[in-house]
Amino acid sequence: MAHRKKNRNVGIIGIGQTKHSSHREDVNQPEMIHEAVSAALTDANLTMKDIDCIVHGNMELFEMVHQPDLWHTLGTGAYGKECIRITTGGTVGMTIACASDNLVASGLYDIVMAVGFEKLQEGHTTGGITNMADPLWFRNLQTGALTGSKAYELISEFGEERAKRASMMYRIIMDKHAGLNQYAHRSFGLEFEQLDDLIKSSPKLVGDLKLIEMCSQSDGACAVIFACEKKTKELSRHPVWIRDHITVHKEEVFQIFGYHKDYPVLQSHRFAADQLYKRNNIDKPLEYFDVFEMYDPASWWAVDWLRDFFQLRGDEHIMLVEEKEIMIDGKMPINPSGGVIGSNPIGATALIRVAEAALQIRGDAGKHQIPKPVKHALASGFGGTMWTVLMMLEKELNWQEADNGGILGNQR
């Protein structure tokens, strides 16, 4: 497999993000990005002189700025440096992390900074997403990223009451997590007692997808600094290592609504997870990982995707939510940061998943630090018509031996 050819190891040595908010009229785009870049440099105890290359990314059409990376040079510090712009829709924050990993691993650069941002208040998010669809057909029908299909599927499989309660339970848990995160955009102070009330009172957007269950539209930026193994060991007292990542997608058209048992739909999340775990010899992802920072655009999707990402069966994923095992002190903490439902500056959103997963491994997440040791973290990105990016992060640089052991073990 391609990842076996990784030339050298890569570590995360610096993390910075802004407070995510719907009110950043006090700064323009480069100024907002500069906040995250400065924070990451401070965190790594570096200056711009130490950075070899900048990988810049956000959604293509949201602010209607052509080549924003040029304007943003003032904020990213890319003047006189290599700067690469990447835009892959909702996954972009994760894609710039993958690209940074690849650029460092290849040996081209020793230290690379990934910068993701969005100022969603400066455009129209749902209009922007709709604009990405095929102009000859689906653009005329769809309404951005809003869909009630996941709600329909969960209700069909698990019954209306159980499914709706699971989705709202997930939502309230994310609100509680966001309340612990000083950078989170939204935390309403929701309580579990409000669960049934919210199911009734929150306005519907599409089908059974309700307003409260959908992610926010935020302004914010995130910067993460990646370095080669040698530099990482020199510069960082608490590095986080990139173990592996995978990107999976299929086609632009949604051909998934036949709902016939003889024609199952291969979900990109499940496929990505299967491939990634297989090549890393992980049999029980739910046991292996200590935290999962998931790109959760809406609570219905989130509940459903837990099954795919952890290779679960039947209603195991629903039970994880119902028994609050996804809470910060549960068996598998999901998004201690509050997730995408809590903050969603889209071009930064997936990079924040990597940043937050890394903070958990470092033990630097502050009030939303998981109250048990974190050694293995998983982060996901999502976008478009079912694009998946999955990344594995490690505290110790020891999986190669484990891998070899596994391979030798199999041969014996």
Of 125 and 337, the one with the shorter C-beta distance to another protein is 125
Question: Where in 94-133 is the site for another protein (CB under 8 A)?
Answer: 124, 126-131
What is the largest distance, in Å, between two alpha-carbon atoms of the chain?
64
- Work out whether 262 is an interface residue with another protein (CB under 8 A): yes
Question: Where in 212-231 is the site for another protein (CB under 8 A)?
Answer: 212
Residue 403, amino acid: D
Residue 389, amino acid: V
Looking at 10, 115, 166, 205, which residue binds another protein (CB under 8 A)?
205
Looking at 190, 222, 326, 374, which residue binds another protein (CB under 8 A)?
190
Q: What is the DSSP letter of 17?
A: E
- Work out whether 207 is an interface residue with another protein (CB under 8 A): yes
The interface region with another protein, picked from 78-86, 97-105, 229-237, 262-270 by CB under 8 A, is: 262-270
- Is the distance from CB of 387 to CB of 88 less than 8 angstroms? yes
Residues in Cβ contact with 40 at an 8 Å cutoff, skipping those fewer than 6 apart: 14, 15, 16, 113, 223, 224, 225
Closest CA to 146 of 211, 59, 219, 64: 211
- Work out whether 1 is an interface residue with another protein (CB under 8 A): no
Q: Residue 235: enclosing H or E segment and its boundaries? A: helix 229-235
Q: Residue 99: enclosing H or E segment and its boundaries? A: helix 92-105
- Number of residues that this document lists for the chain: 412
CB of 207 to another protein, least distance (A): 5
CA–CA distance, 339 with 218 (Å, rounded to integer): 12
- Work out whether 157 is an interface residue with another protein (CB under 8 A): no
Looking at 31, 74, 87, 144, which residue binds another protein (CB under 8 A)?
144
- Work out whether 159 is an interface residue with another protein (CB under 8 A): no
The interface region with another protein, picked from 158-166, 189-197, 269-277, 299-307 by CB under 8 A, is: 189-197
Looking at 107, 258, 314, 363, which residue binds another protein (CB under 8 A)?
258
The interface region with another protein, picked from 80-88, 196-204, 321-329, 339-347 by CB under 8 A, is: 196-204
- Work out whether 38 is an interface residue with another protein (CB under 8 A): no
CB of 338 to another protein, least distance (A): 14
Of 13 and 205, the one with the shorter C-beta distance to another protein is 205
CB of 187 to another protein, least distance (A): 9
CB of 22 to another protein, least distance (A): 9
- Work out whether 250 is an interface residue with another protein (CB under 8 A): yes
CA–CA distance, 324 with 170 (Å, rounded to integer): 8
Cβ atoms within 10 Å, residue 286: 17
Residue 159 structure tokens: 């019954």
CA–CA distance, 354 with 359 (Å, rounded to integer): 9
- Work out whether 173 is an interface residue with another protein (CB under 8 A): no
Residue 313 forms beta bridges with which residues?
none
- Work out whether 13 is an interface residue with another protein (CB under 8 A): no
Of 264 and 371, the one with the shorter C-beta distance to another protein is 264
Q: How many helices (H) and strands (E) does the chain have?
A: 16, 11
User: Does residue 185 sit in helix, strand or coil?
Assistant: coil
Closest CA to 93 of 20, 176, 25, 173: 20
Q: What residue ranges bind another protein (CB under 8 A)?
A: 25-26, 64, 124, 126-131, 134-144, 146-149, 152, 156, 186, 188-190, 194, 197-198, 201-207, 211-212, 250-251, 253-263, 265
